[in-house]
Structure 1
Amino acid sequence: MYIPKLLIVLGSPNTPNGQLGQIALDRVNYCFHLFEQEPKPILCTGGFGNHFNLSPWPHAELLKNKLLQLGVNDDYFLPLALSANTVEDATKSLAILQNYAVATLQIITSNYHLERVKLIFDIILSSWDREYFGVEHVADLPELASLMAHEQKAIAQIKNNGLYY
Structure 2
Amino acid sequence: MKKNTLIVLGSPNSPEGVLSDISRSRLNYCASLYTKGSFVLCTGGWGDHFNTSSKPHAEYSKAYLIKNGIPKDAFLDFALSSNTVDDAVKIKPVVEKLDNVHLTIITSEYHLERVKLIFNEILNPFELEFVGVKSNLSKDVYNKLVAHEKKAVKSILDNGLYY
Deviation track 1:86-117 (CA, whole Å, cap 9, x = no partner) reads 00110000021111114210010000000000
- Whether the aligned pair in 2 keeps the contact of 1:6 and 1:102 (CA below 8 Å) is no
Superposition pairs of residues 16-165 of structure 1, within 5 angstroms:
16-36=15-35, 39-140=37-138, 142-165=140-163
For residues 70 and 137 of structure 2, the distance between their equivalents in structure 1, rounded to whole angstroms, comes to: 25
SS at match of 2:150: helix
TM-score of the pair, normalised by structure 2: 0.95
Deviant stretches of 4+, over 3 Å: 138-142
SS at match of 2:102: strand
SS at match of 2:103: strand
Q: What is the deviation of 1:77?
A: 0.1
Q: What is the deviation of 1:139?
A: 4.6
RMSD: 1.5
For residues 118 and 142 of structure 1, the distance between their equivalents in structure 2, rounded to whole angstroms, comes to: 24
Q: What is the deviation of 1:8?
A: 0.3
For residues 140 and 156 of structure 1, the distance between their equivalents in structure 2, rounded to whole angstroms, comes to: 24
Gaps of 5+ in 2: none
For residues 44 and 106 of structure 1, the distance between their equivalents in structure 2, rounded to whole angstroms, comes to: 12
- Whether the aligned pair in 2 keeps the contact of 1:7 and 1:108 (CA below 8 Å) is yes
Alpha carbons of structure 1 residues 4 and 19: separation in structure 2 relative to 1, 3 Å: same
For residues 54 and 120 of structure 1, the distance between their equivalents in structure 2, rounded to whole angstroms, comes to: 25
Alpha carbons of structure 1 residues 139 and 160: separation in structure 2 relative to 1, 3 Å: closer
Q: What is the deviation of 1:146?
A: 1.5
For residues 140 and 54 of structure 2, the distance between their equivalents in structure 1, rounded to whole angstroms, comes to: 25
Count of matched residue positions in the alignment of Structure 1 and Structure 2 = 163
Gaps of 5+ in 1: none
Deviation track 1:129-154 (CA, whole Å, cap 9, x = no partner) reads 10100001235365222211110000
| Identity, % of aligned positions | 48
- Whether the aligned pair in 2 keeps the contact of 1:3 and 1:100 (CA below 8 Å) is no
For residues 96 and 3 of structure 1, the distance between their equivalents in structure 2, rounded to whole angstroms, comes to: 16
Alpha carbons of structure 1 residues 102 and 60: separation in structure 2 relative to 1, 3 Å: farther
